[in-house]
Structure 1
Amino acid sequence: MPDDRYTLCKRSNGTWSVVDIFTDFPAIVDGRVMIGMDMEEADDMVDLLNILDRKRRAEQAP
């Protein structure tokens, strides 16, 4: 979706990261940096983080 905050990034070593497109840094969840993941795990995390971010923004909307 165009409003998504998080995206996948494939690293040169074949692992995947979840990246915050606003900061261009890997996402951090519960103190864990979202790097070195397999594609399925990273894709699931991207989906979850984007759902939570959309919900947070909707709750903050006037």
Structure 2
Amino acid sequence: MNQLYDLRKEPNGTWTVFDAKTGRPAEMGSRTMIGMTMKDADEIVVFLNCHNAQRRKAAEG
């Protein structure tokens, strides 16, 4: 699966979910995915990548 979202550890020890194409932090609704625990960030990366894959598959027909 081609992953659009990934995570990175920030210098302060928190984690950011980011868009691999732009390098910018991902957003869900009005929340920017920064300052997270590794567990939470990892769960969101899995969710966003699965959701993105399902959307692409549906668009292909």
Question: What TM-score do the two structures reach when normalised by structure 2?
Answer: 0.95
Structure 2: runs of 5+ lacking an equivalent:
none
RMSD of aligned alpha carbons: 0.9
2:39 equivalent to 1:40: yes
- Measured in 2, the distance between the counterparts of 1:45 and 1:35 equals 11
Aligned-partner Cα distance in 2 for 1:60–1:46: 21
**Counterpart in 1 of 2:18?**
19
Q: What residue number does 2:9 align with?
A: 10
Percent of paired sites with the same residue: 43
- Structure 2 distance, partners of 1:23, 1:60, is 22
Secondary structure at the counterpart of residue 26 of structure 1? coil
Structure 1: gaps spanning 5 or more residues: none
Deviations 1:13-56 (A, max 9, x none): 00000010011100000110000000000000000000000001
State the 4+ residue runs in structure 1 displaced beyond 4 angstroms.
none
Q: Which residue type is aligned with residue 61 of structure 1?
A: E
